[in-house]
Structure 1
């Protein structure tokens, strides 16, 4: 058996036994990180990104379905509010649960579980006969989508070549906006096909079909080699690796034989000193990383709801649905108008694909929060001018575009990447799930609290507050920053990083 080589030393703020890595593990990781981007990588990425695609599609479909449901099922205001909140509340539960399960059971197991749950929830939703059953199905759909978030970020981070990792991770979260655009096209087609307020059933049915297709396709997805090595399942890791790297199979088998059941562990903490569950995230070795991963993401999601207050103003001013008399026509107009707005979201991600890898996660997150604050201030100025926002559509549009571009080229991309990079394989999905759950808590707070502030103090006060929230996101990023730009996942745990 070859001797182990030290790749980490003890953390300077929190002395622990140094982590040791077997040189054959280092060889396998180097092969994975240095491999050329191939069709197998693209297929693995595409199947991983299915959850974020369906996240965007589900949110958009529900938004278009609610006006139809109000007409078709005579929803009360309470039922309407619960229906909208159930998806977000479920995501909080799902993100916390999915991350822990993915670290214990593996990435692929949770990929299959969440897509199976989403398929079931969408099928029952399409057949629902009662508003409360719809609330339950949306809660289940939210749990499924929330479970997928930490698994997809962890899997893509662990399986993609090092030089392409940031591109592929930004592309993964960009599928959220792509899902919204896909939903707009599908919704418009189904509304024309159905010609009935019950078209909402077709919305959920289409979601079920897509989820089922991803479920079947994911059966062929290889497990993450890094996760398998972290469990000491090195022969399985080599077999998974064969799908991703152009290396001689016999050489890989030889490495697996030498490794036996040796566990690949790269961390600032030894295995014996790691607190259980979420406790490790608040250990001094990782507390700063946890704060960097969670606070900015939470604040971003709060601010995101603030700009949503102006969606109706912009669409109404551009005559999307303003004069439509029946719910079907209004739904068609809303789908078309919202789809146009979502193009700016996707454009921001496309900029992020180039900029995040070039300038680094922290710089882009700082710049993005600054741009979000600027966008909010532009929207605020539109409310203070004569005639209000409805008479200054160009200014409102400029604020929308500035906010959405800044958010998606910055924090909406980087907050998804950072948890997957900052934590070791054994707790990577747990950390990503905790961060995503905190973000959804921020979104929930925005959904419930901002309308109350708007009612009491007015829209201008909300927009001013959201500008402050964006600046707090900038400040928290700067305060807890860890710039590991250009490092491999394993190098993120060397002692020169906090």
Structure 2
């Protein structure tokens, strides 16, 4: 696919978006787009906590618990990787809004079919397709959020939105309790998936009102639409606050293009920003291994080693889900104040060390179901911040034209390594019923997470409170001939462009 130029414009749209005060319009963005992680949390938790029930005789499926937590989980993640790459490419080409509607529709259809599955292989197929929808959501949603949220709030909002995965996880965990205990074994798990469809339909109704990214519009030859959209938002904010907005005097020159060639994108990610590419891969694979070491075998560990009934594991999972949600809520602001590098490295390394400590206590036999859950809760309080920051990082450190595909690529590559191999390895280790094997799963997840934190300490980017265009110069701006694209209107003095390509 070749690049197609359509003209050159100078615009102050990015500066106008970044200087907006927080408003009801931003809340609409957060609610309309951020709720996707609630769906993902609901999905993963339902499958994990229902694995025991689905594997029982009479459930309607001839499937074992280890197949659900291993093969089905790996297929879900594999689908997410494929969906992220395919829909991520389309997101950069066709726009954010089209794709965050399409990917949600894919999720809804696949989840509904999962609830109707009457054969184990159909169940596996629909889990793969559900993962495709969720993976596509990650690329479309994260790119849109970061392009619409002001720079001074971007880190905190991105972390909190990603952290809402655990709000869905808590809801899913609590829902499985009455569904397992109050409905027939062949009905409860189907109703659980059906509830995911209902939630998805509600989100679809809200999401219709979320606009296209103005940054995507002006780069792709639709500058007038970007101007009209931002002007409308400014008027809405002025009416809400009762104050006139200050002038935004930073501009950027853009050579508009209908599309960006795939080779151009690939060259940008790996030839121009190789250190950032290593950073993105390390963060994603680290969090994928740590989370898979704990969450995919969570119910199985409680049932096998602590004799917790399958119908009660949802209560335990709700506790660690709340710990995960609390991390971004309480620490998210620090990623915009203390800084990205120190907070990302710190949360990765600390969560890994805490998981190693949990492994030692588990191996010593001093834990029970409650204290084990408490340990996991503390580990994931910090890990949740780090994992959310991985999505933030790859979304903001690469040029605008590559953003969605960059998210998709690093999510797919890191998750393929940690999210496909992780469930397969960890489910085998846990299913042996041997304490030493489960300890090994924890140690592997912890060490890979720590390694990701060490990489972040050396290669992290101080992107806090900076405009996206200052963190990574848009490719279209470079093609327009601007060595330093962000300029003051009426001034010959160039502004510093932020972090240099690494």
1:279 Cα deviation (Å)?
4.0
Report the equivalent of 1:440. Answer: 415
Shift in CA distance, 391/96, structure 1 to aligned 2, threshold 3 Å:
same
1:294 Cα deviation (Å)?
1.6
| Count of aligned positions | 450
CA contact (8 A) 2:170 2:318 kept: yes
CA contact (8 A) 1:79 1:132 kept: no
Counterpart secondary structure, 2:100: helix
Report the equivalent of 2:242. Answer: none
Which of 157, 167, 171 is residue 178 of structure 1 equivalent to? 167
Report the equivalent of 2:285. Answer: 298
Deviations 1:38-91 (A, max 9, x none): 111111221111221111111111123322221213533475343222211111
Which of 378, 388, 403 is residue 379 of structure 2 equivalent to? 403
State how far apart, in whole Å, the 2-side matches of 1:216 and 1:272 are. Answer: 31
Counterpart secondary structure, 1:292: helix
State how far apart, in whole Å, the 1-side matches of 2:80 and 2:217 are. Answer: 27
Unaligned runs of 5+ in 1: 1-19, 250-254, 266-270, 325-329
CA contact (8 A) 2:154 2:465 kept: no
Which of 13, 16, 34 is residue 49 of structure 1 equivalent to? 34
Shift in CA distance, 36/488, structure 1 to aligned 2, threshold 3 Å:
same
Q: Does 1:346 find its partner at 2:333?
A: no
1:120 Cα deviation (Å)?
0.8
Shift in CA distance, 82/274, structure 1 to aligned 2, threshold 3 Å:
closer
TM-score of the aligned structures, taking structure 1 as reference length: 0.82
Report the equivalent of 2:137. Answer: 148
TM-score of the aligned structures, taking structure 2 as reference length: 0.81
Q: Residues 43-82 of structure 1: matches in 2 within 5 Å?
A: 43-71=28-56, 72-77=59-64, 79-80=67-68, 81-82=70-71
Shift in CA distance, 124/189, structure 1 to aligned 2, threshold 3 Å:
same
Shift in CA distance, 84/468, structure 1 to aligned 2, threshold 3 Å:
closer
Shift in CA distance, 450/203, structure 1 to aligned 2, threshold 3 Å:
closer
Report the equivalent of 1:487. Answer: 466
Which of 338, 361, 376 is residue 340 of structure 2 equivalent to? 361
Deviations 1:378-424 (A, max 9, x none): 11321443xx2546964x45532332112113x11210101111112
1:245 Cα deviation (Å)?
2.5
1:193 Cα deviation (Å)?
5.7
Counterpart secondary structure, 1:246: helix
State how far apart, in whole Å, the 1-side matches of 2:389 and 2:227 are. Answer: 30
Unaligned runs of 5+ in 2: 1-6, 239-246, 473-496
Which of 375, 382, 399 is residue 354 of structure 2 equivalent to? 375
Report the equivalent of 1:32. Answer: 17
Q: Residues 51-200 of structure 1: matches in 2 within 5 Å?
A: 51-71=36-56, 72-77=59-64, 79-80=67-68, 81-191=70-180, 194-200=183-189
CA contact (8 A) 2:341 2:461 kept: yes
Report the equivalent of 2:226. Answer: 237
Counterpart secondary structure, 2:234: coil
Report the equivalent of 1:282. Answer: 270
State how far apart, in whole Å, the 1-side matches of 2:261 and 2:193 are. Answer: 47
Report the equivalent of 2:402. Answer: 427
State how far apart, in whole Å, the 2-side matches of 1:76 and 1:213 are. Answer: 32
Q: Does 1:222 find its partner at 2:239?
A: no
State how far apart, in whole Å, the 2-side matches of 1:316 and 1:192 are. Answer: 16
Report the equivalent of 1:471. Answer: 450
CA contact (8 A) 1:229 1:263 kept: no
State how far apart, in whole Å, the 1-side matches of 2:403 and 2:276 are. Answer: 12
Q: Does 1:334 find its partner at 2:313?
A: yes
Q: Residues 441-460 of structure 1: matches in 2 within 5 Å?
A: 441=416, 442-451=418-427, 458-460=437-439
Shift in CA distance, 194/488, structure 1 to aligned 2, threshold 3 Å:
same
1:432 Cα deviation (Å)?
0.8
CA contact (8 A) 1:314 1:397 kept: no
Deviations 1:80-120 (A, max 9, x none): 34322221111111111121110001001111111111111
Counterpart secondary structure, 1:73: coil
Counterpart secondary structure, 1:245: helix
State how far apart, in whole Å, the 1-side matches of 2:26 and 2:99 are. Answer: 19
Report the more deviating stretch, 295-304 or 71-80.
Answer: 71-80
Report the more deviating stretch, 365-374 or 271-280.
Answer: 271-280
CA contact (8 A) 2:299 2:313 kept: no
CA contact (8 A) 1:280 1:286 kept: yes
